[in-house]
A and B are shown apart, each in its own frame.
Chain A
Amino acid sequence: MAEMKFEDALKKLERIIEDLEKGDLTLDEALKKYQEGVELSRVCAQRLENAKKKIDLLTKNKKGEFDLKPLEEAEE
């Protein structure tokens, strides 16, 4: 779950809550989803806390193939 994008985690969390609130789950299904939901809300909070942009330059190598090179942040 460490690699999950914030957006995906948030969407999944919303879906889980909707499912739970519909109320047609068995107890163990509900428990499973609740636990997953707790984990997802933790992931979301963490992502918000630690988000960092990553900047690359699109370059072409000698063979004409595309390549990504990290941009030196020195320019900022």
Chain B
Amino acid sequence: MQENLFDRASDTLKGKRVFTVSEITRDIKLILENTFNEIWVEGEISGIRQISSGTVFFTLKDSGSLLKCVIFSSFVRGIKFELKDGIKIVCFGRIGVYEKDGQYQLYTEKIEAKGMGSLQLALEQLKEKLEKEGLFAPAHKRPIPYLPGRIGIVTSLQGAAIKDMLKVMDRRFADVNVIINPAQVQGEAAKGDIARAINELNSFNDDLPPQEKIEVLIVGRGGGSIEDLWAFNEEVVARAIYNSRIPVISAVGHERDFTIADLVADLRAATPSVAAELVLPEKEALEEKTRQLAQRLKLFISELIVNSEEELDRLLRRISLGISNLFKLDFGRFQSAEKKLALLSPLLGIQQHISRLSDLTRQLSIGAGHFSQLKNSRLVTLAEKLSSLSPLNILGRGYSITFKMPQKEVIRDPQAIKAGDMIMTRMSKAEILSKVTEVDRNG
């Protein structure tokens, strides 16, 4: 029976071509490899694994089928984002048949992300990773110093960014030393170069004395395509910014451009020009501030003088009382009294000054523009008149102040001074240093 069946089978094969496994496999290989030579295939990654040589194996799947794929390490390096299970991709390559196993697979050369695009996917993946590591944490953000004396800049010397920033500095209050560490900001080498420049400025700064430190870094470039700006989305740049001991302002492209560098930086400036404006204040604002401070100083001294004048008034009243008492004394004591009176005589001049003061008051209140809103305030009117009587002006009228040296304390108590002491007499246009030879406390 069996022989019969076999014979029948042999009969049916008469005149038919019988392939060996190797033959048919070779034919299949020929057909598949010629037909599917340069193809794009889309699907979802699953079962991804990488072997030590760097070659990556995975399966591309959709709801109905699976396709085995392989990508060699030299091509893996060209992929911007991380290959992971579940990601939807489009692969470019050719179908190859591995004769020994009778298996066909897609020899992949290029992979693009489906949907958002490869660059975007890479960005999202890196963002997620750095976020988890805490590189964007608000707690890590340092304040940008007010009015830095030294600024470091990392950008290209040929680009628009540096020109824009220097232009802004010319307009602003730029009492500042700018240190540029040039870096390529475009192309393959840019990411490494930017990171290098940031690191170098930090090492340089570490060795500077505290007074000369770089207080803030601006890292950026002018506008361009997303590919042009890509270096600022690279991990090595993000880490250099994160590790910078100097606070960093990112200034990449235009307002609409957002990069990873912006997320890591202590402060994001929309453009390089804005960065320069952030570190350098407007000149006008500072001039106004300085004016206000000078005004407060003036007001203070005016009030001080008002108070001193009242004190003087009180003294004058006591003196005139003392003088009338003196006349009641007998002649024998009159001589010493006369001596005392002579000493008092400069004070008599004060009354003249006070009457001059009220003249000045009238003149000043006519010409006083500064205080126009406060014109009716009695205090300010007084202050205005009296500011012309600053202590320095009083010196101008021939008075002097004596200081004990080297402490430079005003001498009021005669007991505080003795022969041999050094004293300094401040007059309006001179300071005289003298040595005391005698102190007459009865004088």
A interface with B by C-beta (< 8 Å): 5-7, 10, 13-14, 16-17, 20-21, 27-28, 30-32, 34-35, 37-38, 41, 44-45, 47-48, 51-58, 60, 66, 68, 71, 75-76
Interface contact A37-B297, CB-CB below 8 Å: yes
Residue numbers in B under 8 Å from A17 (CB-CB): 293, 296-297, 300
Task: Please indicate the chain A residues that have their CB under 8 angstroms from the CB of B176 in the complex.
Answer: 51, 53-54
- Set of chain A residues within 8 Å of B400, measured between Cβ atoms: none
Check: B70 CB closer than 8 A to any chain A CB: no
Is A58 within 8 A of B147, CB to CB?
no
| A34, B3: Cα distance in complex, Å | 128
B344 on interface, CB distance cutoff 8 Å: no
Contacts of B341 in A (CB 8 A): none
Given contact pairs A45-B287, A48-B286, a sample of 9 additional A-B residue pairs in the complex whose CB atoms are under 8 Å apart: A5-B175, A13-B297, A21-B300, A28-B409, A35-B392, A53-B169, A53-B174, A75-B157, A75-B163
Question: In the complex the two chains form, what is the Cα distance from A5 to B169 in whole Å?
Answer: 17
Within 402-418 of B, Cβ neighbours of A (below 8 Å) are at: 403, 408-410
Cβ-based interface call for B326 (8 A) = no
- Report B-chain residues with C-beta under 8 Å of the C-beta of A57: 179-182
Q: Is the CB of B179 within 8 A of A68?
A: yes
Contact B301 A34 (CB under 8 A): yes
Contact of A58 among B163, B201, B301 (CB under 8 A): B201
Docked Cα-Cα span, A13 to B297, in Å, equals 9
User: Chain B: how many interface residues by the 8 Å CB criterion?
Assistant: 44
B23 interfacial contact with A, CB 8 Å: no
Which of B166, B178, B300, B403 sits near A20, CB closer than 8 Å? B300
Interface residues of B in 274-308 (CB under 8 A from A): 283, 286-287, 289-290, 293-294, 296-297, 300-301, 304, 308
Q: State in angstroms the CA–CA spacing of A76 and B283 once bound together.
A: 22
Contact digits for B12-39, partner A, Cβ 8 Å, 1 yes 0 no: 0000000000000000000000000000
Could you tell me if A76 and B203 are in contact, using CB atoms closer than 8 angstroms? no
Please tell me if B204 contacts chain A, counting CB pairs below 8 Å: yes
Residues from chain B with Cβ under 8 Å of A37 in the complex: 297
List of B residues within 8 angstroms of A30 by Cβ: 304
B258, CB-defined interface residue at 8 Å = no
Q: Measured between alpha carbons, how far is A10 from B157 in the docked complex, in Å? A: 34
Complex CA–CA separation, A56 to B286 (angstroms): 26
Known: A6-B147, A44-B290. A56 touches B178 (CB 8 A): yes
Interface presence of B146 (CB below 8 A): yes
Alpha-carbon distance A62/B300, docked complex (angstroms):
59
**Set B177, B207, B391, B410: member contacting A54, Cβ < 8 A:** B177
CA distance A21 to B391 in the complex (A): 17
State A45–B294 Cα separation when bound (angstroms). 10
| Complex-state Cα separation, A76 to B170, whole angstroms | 11
Q: Which 8 A-B residue pairings sit nearest by Cβ, starting from the closest?
A: A28-B410, A51-B175, A53-B174, A7-B147, A58-B181, A41-B294, A66-B204, A44-B290
Q: Chain B residues near A48 (CB, 8 Å)?
A: 173, 283, 286-287, 290
The distance in angstroms between the C-alpha atoms of A39 and B147, with both chains bound, is 21
Q: Give CA–CA (A41, B178) in the complex, Å.
A: 26
Interchain nearest-CB distance for B386 vs A (Å): 14
A52 to B: closest C-beta gap in Å: 7
Chain A neighbourhood of B308, CB < 8 A: 27
Complex Cα–Cα for A47 and B339 (A):
53
Cβ contacts A to B, 25 pairs, < 8 Å = A6-B175, A7-B147, A10-B286, A20-B300, A21-B296, A27-B304, A27-B410, A31-B410, A34-B301, A34-B391, A41-B290, A48-B173, A48-B286, A48-B290, A51-B173, A51-B174, A51-B283, A52-B174, A52-B175, A53-B166, A55-B179, A58-B181, A58-B200, A58-B204, A60-B200
Instruction: Please report the C-alpha to C-alpha distance between residue A20 and residue B302 in the assembled complex, in whole angstroms.
Output: 12
Complex CA gap A6/B147 in Å reads: 8
Instruction: Indicate if B149 sits at the interface (CB-CB under 8 A).
Output: yes
Cβ A45 vs Cβ B175 within 8 A: no
Closest CB-CB distance, B6 to chain A, in whole Å?
86
A44 and B157 alpha carbons, distance in the complex (Å):
33
Q: Which chain B residues border A16 with CB–CB below 8 Å?
A: 297
Also in contact, A55 and B178, with CB within 8 A (given A5-B149, A20-B300, A28-B410): yes
Bound form: Cα–Cα A20–B297 in Å:
8
